[in-house]
Structure formats: structure tokens, C-alpha cells
Structure 1
Amino acid sequence: MKKKAAGLVVTAFVLCALPFLLPAGSIKEPTVTAAAQDELPVVGTYEKFKKLLKKSVANNTYAELELGIPAMAPALQAGDAAKSTAAPDFSVTNTQVQGVDEADIVKTDGTYLYQSTNREVRIVKAYPAQEMRVTSRISYEDGQFTPLEMFVDDKRLIVIGQADNYVELAPLPASKRAIPYYRNNQLVKALVYDIADKENPRLIRQLEVEGQYLSSRKIGSSLYLTANNSIDTYRILQEKTELPGPAYRDSAFGEQYQPVPYSDIRYFPESLQPNYLMVAGVNLDLPRQKLSLSTYLGAGENIYASPTSLYVAVTEYKANQRNMMQTESFDRLFAPPLAADTTIYRFGMNDGKIAFSAKGRVPGQILNQFSMDEYDGYLRIATTSGNMWRTDADTSKNNIYVLDSKLGIHGKLEGVAPTERIYSVRFMGKRAYMVTFRNVDPLFVLDLEKPDAPRILGALKIPGYSDYLHPYDENHIIGFGKETESDKDMAYYQGMKIALFDVSDVSKPKEKFKTVIGDRGTDSELLHNHKALLFSREKGLLAFPLSVYEWTEAQKAEQNIRGYGHFTFQGAYVYRIDPEKGFTLTDKITHLEPEDIAKAGEGWYESSKNIRRILTIDQTLYTISDDIVKAQQLYGQKAVKTLPLTK
């Protein structure tokens, strides 16, 4: 029986209820007060802003000019969707934290399918599959707006994207600039549509923040956006008149873009960077609530959110003083890379309002959002410090830090797997699982029950590595990555590897089952974007999109582990997964025709028919590419309908 989501779709940590991962009451409400916000100094005036900007440029000169390493490298990381406990008969995109929704390029509410492409957003009547049709399209053909991803609830479709157009700001006071000020810059836009009538979605609100999209979250009816905005340092330092701060606009309160006053911009004294970090929030159920916008002289790279806190992490490079003293200035272009710390900013979130609450720093660099996790009032964070190719004291080491409510280091485990780096991390309640790699794949089981004393419980070393770890149940975890083969001291990745790890004996984890797909060159979006995974423990279902490359018979005879295979397939692999039987491949689905494969030849092939997402509604499996939606029976693999999506 088909069910519709009641209210906002609620995120699930995995696609089933796993109470051992996030026990009730495990996350403590952070205290966000005006005092916490006031701990950060205010830029205040334009003259002070220019002085701070000069200082930030000086602080980042070595990184940017001598090594060519940018002061910040924002990861335009897309998010995941949420699973509704009220509607278990349809799937949604894999996500990290229960109660925290993340955006994706495909959504479903159990009846309709919503898809974002780089030119338009489509609403498709998807269920029942026999009646599948395109209901409406939202086009952006002027090229001034590129959709990136979306949120959907029972009332709204929220399309988040990037725009490149002129920003006209209200004129500054006559004493500073008497005419309106224009600038051509990037804008992050959230377009909010009323979708009560799916045939005619109605734009009801636009939220815009100047900058490059970083990430977003949605908790209930509250939307939170983050953006990085690079500062035109040269122009500001050369311009004699005052230039406005970063711009924003909320269409509910007028069409005019507003500059953020320098009196409202704060900065992090030890982390000056020539960028703005923009953090915005609003409760969409309250149309007269103004956009809550916090602006900081700084930048962000990775975002992690709990139901009550938003964490922004940024890598801060610093010169290795020992090497700097030993290196002539002429040769510093070829000096060893800078050492790195990670600075974490925490913002309290409440009903669409957001405020800075704490700042902390740990040694090393994080991998992605899964490197962070909030549990029982603590933030746990995994980092890699040093460099893999060094053999001295600066060789790479991997670490776990447990931070208290003020983001001070409360406990730590350092120096894990020297000479390797972290490839994936998954925190699960009082445990964590960490994969490091150089030549083999060590899977570490970590005990975090005592926040002040994290420790290693067990480890497993096997060929290959896992880029992404996904919980199956309390005693099993799934790894997605690459198989490897070694030649002397070098390991070369081969085909895509899926492994089921048994961690029931934490001191002796074991690889219970594995399967390898294709040869060197085989890849999947899942390996760097977890939202590409479809998983249901209840259905014993596992599916993901991938491109398969395979060796020819001649290559197999050569056994050259460095040789790439030839393109043979793009589509979805569908598996049954069972902790006692492992992985059983039940279907391979493609949208490509034989002539499409022929066009690829031996090399890489990109097509608008490439499957990007897989989902289920009731007993129907849907595969989605930019050009096609294909529906078939979940069990039995009988085709139901293929719907072209292009006009």
C-alpha cells in the first residue's frame, strides 16, 4: 500500500531504525548565548577591515604564492536526503545524522519524483509506475541560475543553486559613495516553491547570499545555508572609497540586495583569511521571520550538523619551522608541504536562527564530513597529520580527538598507522571505524566509551581500501572502495571492491565477504559521494551507480597491474545483501543502448543517459539519469515503464 510522508521527511542514519547508533538523549542541547557570540571581535569599521585584510594576506603569502596551495579549498560538497519513519515503503538518499536532512539531486515523496539537472528541475508522477509521466518543469534557460540540489517536504520544493549576475546594492551614505554600487559576483540562491499543485509549482520566496555554495541542512521547517565568499583583496586595498560588504537578499522583505555592515562582521583573531564565511538560517513556516545571517572573516571546507549544532571545519596551513630554517628562500618553492591543523567553528541552530557558540583546533587535516561526529555532548574528530611520503618525524599519522562542550581537547588517540592516511571513517555511538591505507587496508575498531581515553580495540589488514563505510547492523559494517595489488613497495588500485566486515569480536574484526567489480578504471560516484547509495536492511537491498572497465583477454595474459581496462558498462548494480550469505548480484541496469557503448570505444565515456540515482517506491525500483527514468519490479526484474525526460 502506498503511503505519503506526513510532514517533513525525517532523516535516518541508515535506511532502518538503528537505536544503538544514536540513543535517545545522547545529544545535549548546546547553550547559545549572546555572550558566546560576543567572544568574537567585531570588524567594526572599513578601515579596521582593511588592516585585518592586509594581515590575512601576509599570513597566507607562503601558502598561496610560494607553494601554490590556496589558503582555503572549499569542498563543494553536496548533501544527502532523509528517510521518513512515517513512510517506510519508499527509499530516500543515504544520510549521516538522524533528524538532519541534506539536499540531493533526486528526491521522492512516495508518489512524485523530483530531479534537478543543470538546466531545469522536473517533477515526475512516478507512482504507480505504469502511469509515470512528467508533471511539470521549472526551467532556468537564461543561464543565470544553475540548480545544484534540492529539499522536498509535504509543502515545499527548495531548489538550491548558483547564480552569476549583477548585484545592485543600496547606495552608501553620501559621504562615502553617492551612487548605487554594482558588482558581478556569484550568488547562492535558495528558491522556495509551493508544490500543492504539482502541475504548477509556485515560487513564493527567494533567499540569496553572495558567495560559493558550501553546503546546507534542513531540520523540520528550518533551512540552513553556508557559503564561502572570496574577497577582492587587491581592489579593496587600492580603492580610495569604501566598498560595501557581502550582499544578501530575502525576497520576503524586498527586492533590494543589502550589504552586511562591517559593524556586523566578526572575525577569528587566530584564523584570518581573505574570505567571508556566510552562515544563514530561516524557518520557512514563518514567512515573516527574517533571514538570520552571520558573517565572518574566514572560510569553511567541510560541514557536519547534529540536530542542534552546525560545525564548520577549515584546514589551516602553517610552515614547518624546522624545514623553513633549513631551506634557502630561493628553494622554498620546492620545500616540503606545509603542516596543517583543522579549526572547527560551532554554531547553535534553533528554529531557523543561528549563532556562533564555540571554536576549537586539532592537529592534522580531516577527510570529509564523516570525520566529525557529535555524541553525548562531545565532538569526535578524526585527522591525518604529516605526509605519507616522508620517513622522518613528519611522516603521516592518524588521530582521534574528543572535544568538550567548549571544543577543547578532552581526550585523544594519536599516532595510529604511521606512514598511512585516513581513507574513511564512520562513528557509530560508542565505537568508531577507521580505514587507513598505503599498501594494505587496515580497518581499525576504536573504543570511544570513555571520552577522555579513546583506544584501539582491534585491527584487520587486508589488500585494498574502503572510501566509504556504511553500517549494516551492530555487528557488521559495509566497506566500499577499491581492490589493490602490490608491485614491490607500490600498491595499485584495481576494480571496485565491496566488503562486509564482521565486528562482533571487536578485538578480531574480519572481512566476512567481498566482491570485486571490473578492473583498473572502474569507478562509482558512491566512492566520493555517499548519497549515491541505495540501501535497505529490511529488503536486503544494496544498489549504486558505477562505470565498469574491464581488461581484454590480451591484458589478462600480460597481468600488468598498472594497465587500465576498457569501458564496458555504465548503470546500476543491484545486490541482495545478507550477513550469512554475503553479496548476490541480482541485476545490472543500464540506460545506454549498444550504439552508446560503441561510441565510447576503449576510453572513458560520459553520457546524459548515465544513471545517477536509484530509489524504490513500494515494490518498484527506479533508476534515474538526466534523460530517462526506468521503472521495473524490485523482485523479478520485470520492466514496467521507461519514461524519456528530455523535451
Structure 2
Amino acid sequence: MTRGTKATAAGGTLIALALLAGSMSAPPVVTLPIGTDGLRMMPVGLVSFDSCADALTELRTAAAASVGPYGFGGGWRTFSDRGGAMGAGDVAKGAEALPAPTGAAPEHSTTNNHEVGVDEPDLVKTDGRRIVTTTGGVLRVVDPVNRQITGELDLTDGHERLRWTDQRLLLLRDRALVLTEATRATTTGVASRIRGPFDDTRLVLVDLSGAPRVLGTYRVQGRTVDARLTGTTARVVVNSGLRLEFPYDRTGSDRERTARNREVIARAGIEAWLPEYEWTAGAERHTGRIGCDRLSRPERMTGTSTLTVLSFDLATDRLGDGDPVGVVADASTVYGTATSLYLAGRRPAVDPARSRPSADDEVTEIHQFDTAAPGRPRFVASGTVPGWLINQYALSEWDGHLRVATTTGDVWGGRAEGRTSESAVRVLRREGGSLVPAGMVGGLGRGERIYSVRYLGPVAYVVTFRQTDPLYSLDLTDPGAPRVTGELKITGYSGYLHPLPEGRLLGVGQEADTRGRTQGVQVSLFDVRDPGRPYRLDQWHLPRGWSGAEHDPHAFLYRPDSGLVALPVDAGIRLLRVGGDTIREIGEVTHPATDREGRRMGAPVRRSLVIGDVLWTVSDTGLRATDPTTARSIGWIATT
């Protein structure tokens, strides 16, 4: 293991100035006037259907225009949601358990969420009095004081495959909502060789006041995109593909195969687009389907998928029907604030025969919902921006505006073809039912793509990378004239940026050589107090190492009171201490690689949390209690 050299303040300033001076030969970063993007940023709103008959006509027309000789998306795409109904008796039974801990909760960490006041689902949660995990298909409750498991609940519902599927949870007092994807879709007949994506989202409401027990379940056709908890309301976003079976037939021309697929669409009923759901509460079992009156569409649609937003009050003893709201659109990113929920996704290409999207197809659609009040969200506005998002951290709502960072152009072209990519930050404002451009700054990282974004009020930091890592600092105070205020070029990149006190910024990513070849995990400490001269204070580097926190911020833990950073690296957790201008390694936490029967598991440590003065780490094999000041183990709880 090696550590990067620490730069003095003067040296760091000189390096930053030299790098900035050296970058002056590169194409300049530009602030573009409103409307520069022209037709690619036309306002978009949502339109309700007049009736189910009108909805069916429009949906058939859109889907027929989107289908090609091999289905949707350039390949055979066939859906079948005929999974067996889940009866009330199919829910898992809770194990006998000790009473839930009581009393005041000690100081504890929480999930590393994007926004304050909005909780995100994760593999582990704590309220300081207990730790709740979902690993290996089992929900477990752990007493951190006595360091023992006080309750277990099998969530697999008889499907052993679910022991290898991540199940995430939200926690509100004595209620846990577990999110999982229940069954894999399989087609019938000749096409049974084609296996589709996970197609059922299953939610389980668990009572934790005593022995963990199931209060109710919810099952809906589609895959979970993400969920958010504000107040007592959990909102779950589900993406349901069009449920059709296209003939798996390679005979004939592309035109003939497309015609046969369009015949299938022409015969489809409205149920192919409207997801079916089922919910249970005790012995009760209810089924339903999202109604046409709850369905909207953007001005332009492909008719190939439906987004459904479900709302559940976790303060009650049942899930109910979820009060669903649907949009005929696609989304892969969910971003939430205390008052808004945004769904964002790449708009599919118009021409199904085109094997490679053009620049005009690089458009992200964004739909905003008002979630300030409990219950069903209210649609507010929609809009589009050129390019694609790296993740939810590319979005930020501030002072009545939405900031969006995207990359456009060809990132992967070789030297001969040339890379045409560049990135930009756009500011959108709401105008009626549309999100329209207010201002933008473009030309970031030409020939590169965005690796991370962090917004801190009126300031933003954007990292792009291909061979070197430009860290851009941006001033977004004036939404009509955002601008770049500073740039720092170093080797490697940061895939996740985390704010620290006193004008510091921590980056987690990879070191790289001057040709852009990655060299192992690195943690960089930046001084960003002067927005015109960001520079790196210190660096921790582990050659050939990797960290899941680079792609999953929930795996990152930082404690501002002590400067502790817990970072998953390879199969363990590295403990670092960040203070002032330095990064210091404390040690490593590892878990046994075998279960209690001696079978090799190879399960990495995936999460860490702090309760009081104890660090807890979680893997599929168990939980370890550790002294965070020395990395010394003080307890182990095996779960396999």
C-alpha cells in the first residue's frame, strides 16, 4: 500500500495554478445563452387519457411505431407476468424473539442519503436501539447493547433464489418495509428459452415491536426502480414493461417480422400496459389493476413501459392498494427531496431499426411530482435535457430550480473516429406543467464523461475523466448564468464526492496513470474554500484495490464528530481518519470467509454504521462490533 504525498498550502496553490495554466490550451468551458439547445430541449408535459378506449388506441399506435423485427430495444423482448398469485397464507412466519429494545437511543449514524429529510432504502438500518438487516433472504434484528440477534424472519416465501438477491428496507419506528424482486419472468412455447428481467416487485410490511411478524404484503408487475421515505409516507417507483409475447420467428424479412409484431400489438388489450397488483393484510387478499384515470403520458412516448408511483403510510398496520399513479414512460433514476419526487430516464430512440442511437436520441426525460403532503403524489411538471445522467447525484433542487448534469456525444469512440462527448450543467425552472431551461454551462470535459457530481447549495462540483480527472467547481447562484469558477486536473478520478466541514471535499474513486489506466482505489482530500483554486491536500491510495462506495454511496460512512471514514475496499472495510489537511489509515475490518459449517462464503463486508462508540460492519456471514479508534474487534455475531 502507498500513500500520496501531502501538499503544503503553498505547494498546492502552485500546482493548481500550473495545472490551470496548462489547461488553457484545451477548448474553453462556455456558458451558453437560453435556447442554444433548441429543439432538443422542448418543454414536455403530461397528458391524461380521456378514456380507456382512447388510451388503448394511443398506446397501440405508439408501441407499433416503436417495435422492430426483434421486438423493442433491438432484441427479442417478450414479457409474461403470469406468476402464481400470492395468497395470504404464503407470507413468511416470524421467529420467536426477545422484546424489542426500549429507552432513549444513543448517538448513531444513518444511511448516507442524498438529501436531508429523505430516507433511502438500504441493506441495513438502525434507530440506535436496534440494527435491522436483510441478508441472505432473512430479516434480522440485532440488539447492539447485548450483541445478540433478537429476532429473525425468513423473507424468501419459499424461493431459495431470493437468498442471493438483495432485499432493501426502510425503517420507521416499529415498522420495516422490505423491498424485493420476487420472480423472474419466463416466456412460454418456443420462446421459453428467452428469459426476461425480474418482473414482480414484492413489498413486505414487518412489525418489529416484538418478534418480527408480517403485517401485510404487496405485489405488483414490474421491477423496482427505487423508493423514498418522507415523513411516514414511503413512495415506491416501479417500471413495468409492456407484457406481450412476440413470435420468436426468424423467417422472412425484417419488414415481415416487424409486421407480425405489430399484429400482436394490435390485438393487445389495455391490460398489457396497466400493471396488476395484489395486496394482503392478515387473511385478507385484494387484487386490482391501475386504472386508466390514474394514467398519464408525455407528449412523445414509445408505449413500451409504464412507471407507477405507489404510496404507503408506514404508520399504519396495512399497505393497502398503494394509491397508484402511472406514467407511460421509462425511468432509471429516482431523486427525492422533502417536497418533490423526480423520475428521470433516457428517452428511447424513435426508429426501432436504428442499431445505434444518434445524438438526437441522447435525451433524458424528467417528471416532477409534489410530495409535500402525505399520500398520492401530485404531478407538477415534466421536461427534457440533452444527454444522460450518471446517477441521482446529477440532480439537485435548490431555490425553486432543478439543476441537471449530463454527458452528451460519443464517449467510447476510438482515436480514429474521435470522441465527441462533453458535459454540461443545466438549470431548469417550472413554467406551468413544463420544466424549461433557465441557464446552462457547457463544454465540461470534452472527450470525457461525468464520473461524479455534488451540489452544495449554490455551488456544484463535477468530475469528468478519460485520462486525467478535471474537478470543476461551478457557481450556480444566478440560475440564468451558471459559470465555472475553477478547475483542477489530477490523475485518476472520483466516483463519489462527499462534503466535509471547513471547505473540504472528499473524493472516492480510482488512481490512474497518465494514459487513463486505473491503478487502484484512492481517496482524495480537496480544499475547495477558494472556488477559483481547488487543490488536493492529501491522498490515500491502495494499488489494485477497489471500493463499492464509488458506485453505491450507501456503502460510504463518514462521522463528522470524529473524522472517521469507513470505506469498503475489496472484501473488507478500511478505516481512515480525516482531519485538517490529512488522511490517516487506522486499520482494516474483515469478516470470516466461511460459515458456521466451514463452507466458504466469500461474502464481502458491504455496510458499516456507528452506534455510540462502536462501529458495526455487516456482511452475509454476520455482523462485527469494532473499536473505530483502533480497528480492534470487540464482538462477532454469525448469521450463517
Structures share fold, TM-score greater than 0.5: yes
Residue 405 of structure 1: CA displacement?
2.2
Match of 1:306 among 330, 337, 351: 337
Instruction: Report SS of the residue matched to 2:300.
Output: coil
Tell me what 1:251 maps to.
Answer: 280
Tell me what 2:406 maps to.
Answer: 383
Residue 250 of structure 1: CA displacement?
3.7
How many Å separate the matches in 1 of 2:69 and 2:475? 39
Contact 2:422–2:444 (Cα < 8 Å) also in 1: yes
**Are positions 1:643 and 2:640 aligned together?**
no
Tell me what 2:37 maps to.
Answer: none
Residue 428 of structure 1: CA displacement?
0.5
Q: Identity, % of aligned pairs?
A: 28
How many Å separate the matches in 1 of 2:556 and 2:166? 21
Tell me what 2:578 maps to.
Answer: 577
Where does 1:598-637 land on structure 2 (aligned, <5 Å)?
607-637=601-631
Match of 1:99 among 78, 92, 117: 117
**Are positions 1:348 and 2:370 aligned together?**
yes
How many Å separate the matches in 2 of 1:342 and 1:334? 17
Shift in CA distance, 388/613, structure 1 to aligned 2, threshold 3 Å? same
Residue 94 of structure 1: CA displacement?
0.9
Q: Write the letter of the residue equivalent to 2:173.
A: D
**Are positions 1:230 and 2:241 aligned together?**
yes
How many Å separate the matches in 2 of 1:506 and 1:619? 36
Residue 45 of structure 1: CA displacement?
2.4
Residue 461 of structure 1: CA displacement?
0.4
Tell me what 1:462 maps to.
Answer: 490
Structure 1 length as normaliser, TM-score? 0.75
**Are positions 1:448 and 2:479 aligned together?**
no
- List per-residue Cα deviations over 1:424-468 (Å, max 9, x = no partner): 000010100000011100000000000110000000001001111
How many Å separate the matches in 1 of 2:70 and 2:529? 45
Residue 58 of structure 1: CA displacement?
1.9
Tell me what 2:550 maps to.
Answer: 527
Where does 1:395-474 land on structure 2 (aligned, <5 Å)?
395-406=420-431, 407-474=435-502
How many Å separate the matches in 2 of 1:114 and 1:60? 45
Residue 285 of structure 1: CA displacement?
2.6
Q: Write the letter of the residue equivalent to 1:224.
A: R
Tell me what 2:566 maps to.
Answer: 543
- List per-residue Cα deviations over 1:206-237 (Å, max 9, x = no partner): 23322101000011110100011111244662
Contact 1:282–1:351 (Cα < 8 Å) also in 2: no
Contact 2:46–2:299 (Cα < 8 Å) also in 1: no
Residue 334 of structure 1: CA displacement?
7.1
Shift in CA distance, 294/443, structure 1 to aligned 2, threshold 3 Å? same
Tell me what 2:170 maps to.
Answer: 151
Residue 304 of structure 1: CA displacement?
0.3
**Are positions 1:266 and 2:296 aligned together?**
yes
How many Å separate the matches in 2 of 1:202 and 1:502? 49
Residue 126 of structure 1: CA displacement?
2.0
Tell me what 1:188 maps to.
Answer: 201
Residue 63 of structure 1: CA displacement?
11
Contact 2:215–2:317 (Cα < 8 Å) also in 1: no
Higher-RCO chain (CA-CA 8 Å, sequence separation at least 6): 2
Tell me what 1:291 maps to.
Answer: 322
| 5+ long unaligned stretches in structure 2 | 1-43, 79-103, 186-196, 247-263
How many Å separate the matches in 1 of 2:477 and 2:159? 52
Tell me what 2:503 maps to.
Answer: 475
Tell me what 2:529 maps to.
Answer: 504
- List per-residue Cα deviations over 1:383-415 (Å, max 9, x = no partner): 001013458898111111111123111111122
Contact 2:363–2:388 (Cα < 8 Å) also in 1: yes
Residue 417 of structure 1: CA displacement?
2.1
Contact 1:44–1:265 (Cα < 8 Å) also in 2: no
How many Å separate the matches in 2 of 1:306 and 1:124? 30
Shift in CA distance, 436/642, structure 1 to aligned 2, threshold 3 Å? same
RMSD: 3.4
How many Å separate the matches in 2 of 1:528 and 1:619? 28
Shift in CA distance, 366/88, structure 1 to aligned 2, threshold 3 Å? farther
Instruction: Report SS of the residue matched to 1:52.
Output: helix
Residue 238 of structure 1: CA displacement?
5.9
Tell me what 1:207 maps to.
Answer: 218
Q: Write the letter of the residue equivalent to 2:60.
A: L
Contact 1:43–1:49 (Cα < 8 Å) also in 2: no
How many Å separate the matches in 1 of 2:73 and 2:230? 43
How many Å separate the matches in 2 of 1:126 and 1:464? 39
294-303 vs 629-638, which moves further: 629-638
Match of 1:282 among 290, 295, 312: 312
Shift in CA distance, 364/64, structure 1 to aligned 2, threshold 3 Å? farther
**Are positions 1:140 and 2:168 aligned together?**
no
Contact 1:50–1:237 (Cα < 8 Å) also in 2: no
How many Å separate the matches in 2 of 1:380 and 1:279? 23
Residue 363 of structure 1: CA displacement?
1.0
Instruction: Report SS of the residue matched to 1:136.
Output: strand
Shift in CA distance, 66/285, structure 1 to aligned 2, threshold 3 Å? closer
Residue 278 of structure 1: CA displacement?
0.8
| 5+ long unaligned stretches in structure 1 | 1-36, 72-85, 167-183, 548-569, 600-605
Tell me what 2:94 maps to.
Answer: none
How many Å separate the matches in 2 of 1:62 and 1:383? 31
How many Å separate the matches in 2 of 1:214 and 1:404? 25
Tell me what 1:119 maps to.
Answer: 137
Shift in CA distance, 336/342, structure 1 to aligned 2, threshold 3 Å? closer
Shift in CA distance, 165/505, structure 1 to aligned 2, threshold 3 Å? closer
Tell me what 2:52 maps to.
Answer: 45
Shift in CA distance, 335/639, structure 1 to aligned 2, threshold 3 Å? closer
- List per-residue Cα deviations over 1:327-350 (Å, max 9, x = no partner): xx9xx6578777401110011112
Contact 2:459–2:476 (Cα < 8 Å) also in 1: yes
- List per-residue Cα deviations over 1:115-147 (Å, max 9, x = no partner): 11242111122224xx43353333425018666
How many Å separate the matches in 2 of 1:134 and 1:493? 44
How many Å separate the matches in 2 of 1:238 and 1:439? 50
- List per-residue Cα deviations over 1:90-111 (Å, max 9, x = no partner): 1122111000000100111213
How many Å separate the matches in 1 of 2:593 and 2:137? 24
- List per-residue Cα deviations over 1:144-183 (Å, max 9, x = no partner): 86661001122211111122299xxxxxxxxxxxxxxxxx
Where does 1:308-327 land on structure 2 (aligned, <5 Å)?
308-318=339-349
Q: Write the letter of the residue equivalent to 1:533.
A: F
- List per-residue Cα deviations over 1:280-313 (Å, max 9, x = no partner): 1122335687622111221211010011110000
Residue 87 of structure 1: CA displacement?
5.8
Shift in CA distance, 616/264, structure 1 to aligned 2, threshold 3 Å? closer
Contact 2:607–2:618 (Cα < 8 Å) also in 1: yes
Contact 2:452–2:496 (Cα < 8 Å) also in 1: yes
382-391 vs 413-422, which moves further: 382-391
Tell me what 2:81 maps to.
Answer: none
Q: Write the letter of the residue equivalent to 1:485.
A: D
Residue 68 of structure 1: CA displacement?
5.8
Instruction: Report SS of the residue matched to 1:374.
Output: strand
Shift in CA distance, 335/208, structure 1 to aligned 2, threshold 3 Å? closer
Residue 538 of structure 1: CA displacement?
0.8
Q: Write the letter of the residue equivalent to 2:590.
A: T
Shift in CA distance, 620/344, structure 1 to aligned 2, threshold 3 Å? same
Contact 2:491–2:516 (Cα < 8 Å) also in 1: no
Shift in CA distance, 159/242, structure 1 to aligned 2, threshold 3 Å? closer
Residue 67 of structure 1: CA displacement?
5.8
Instruction: Report SS of the residue matched to 1:408.
Output: strand
393-402 vs 104-113, which moves further: 393-402
